[in-house]
Amino acid sequence: MYIPELFKETDQQKITEFLKQNAFGLLITQHQGKPLATHLPLEYLEKDGKAYLHGHLAKANPQWKTFDEQEQVLAVFNGPHSYVSASWYSIEEVSTWNYVAVHIYGKLRTMAQEELMPMLEALMDKYESDVQRPVDMSKLSKKTLNQVHGIVGFEIEITELQAKYKMSQNRSEKDYENIVENLEDGRGTQAAETAKLMREFKPDLSGNK
């Protein structure tokens, strides 16, 4: 991913938190020179001093049959994003887009069948925790649990991580604040989330004119 130095994020704790909050990603592989991609939940975790992504996809999805061919795979995660109008600047400029993106490269291995249940239980525990009547996987019927045989689990050992926070770090403090206020001004969920992140993220702009 092309990342100008100004927009490069290296704070591992911040990136890890982002991945946990934005875990629906895009898994990209290749087969015979053609890119293949699937949108799916990819859970970040650490064990034995290394970082991994865990995920699964349907056996009906032919992408899993290419896993053994891959030297490395790419997982893409997106965060809040929004159009930024040049009319919000104090000087003439071009309009742009603010966004957060994380690219992860790694080595993929297909999970054994016995590894699937613990992974699925952890996934459900995470997302059922704030549901009014959470589903307890241990109480599901054998018939329902048999659906596990219709999926393929995988683990990606992370070898490289790239994070880009393009959040108007190149603007003056006055313009930065004006961008945030305009994004907050009823322009939809993504704009509001981008504005919220900009307020939390606000860099030192004292050197910008």
In terms of Cβ atoms closer than 10 Å to its own Cβ (0-12, 13-18, 19+), residue 139 is exposed
Q: CB of 42 within 8 A of CB of 23?
A: yes
- CB contact at 8 A, 163 and 15: yes
| Closest to 75 in 3D by CA, of 1, 140, 175, 176 | 1
CA torsion angle 78 83 88 93 (round to 10): 100
Q: What is the pLDDT of residue 134?
A: 87
Could you tell me which residues come within 8 angstroms of residue 90 by beta carbon, excluding any fewer than 6 positions away?
172, 174, 175, 178
Alpha-carbon torsion (48, 50, 53, 56), positive or negative:
negative
Mean pLDDT calculated for residue range 102-125: 94
Map tokens 């080595």 to a residue: 107
* CB neighbour class for 21 (10 Å; exposed up to 12, middle 13-18, buried from 19): exposed
The answer to whether residue 209 scores a pLDDT higher than 70 is no
Handedness of CA 111, 117, 121, 122 (dihedral sign): negative
pLDDT tens sequence across 17-74: 999 999 999 999 999 999 999 999 999 999 999 999 999 999 999 999 999 999 999 9
pLDDT value of position 136: 84
Closest CA to 88 of 182, 173, 207: 182
Residues 151-161 have pLDDT tens digits of 999 999 999 99
Mean pLDDT of the chain: 93
* Lowest model confidence (mean pLDDT) among 82-86, 129-133, 148-152, 202-206: 202-206
Model confidence pLDDT, tens digit, residues 165-203: 999 999 999 999 999 999 998 778 999 999 999 999 888
Strand, helix or coil for residue 204: coil
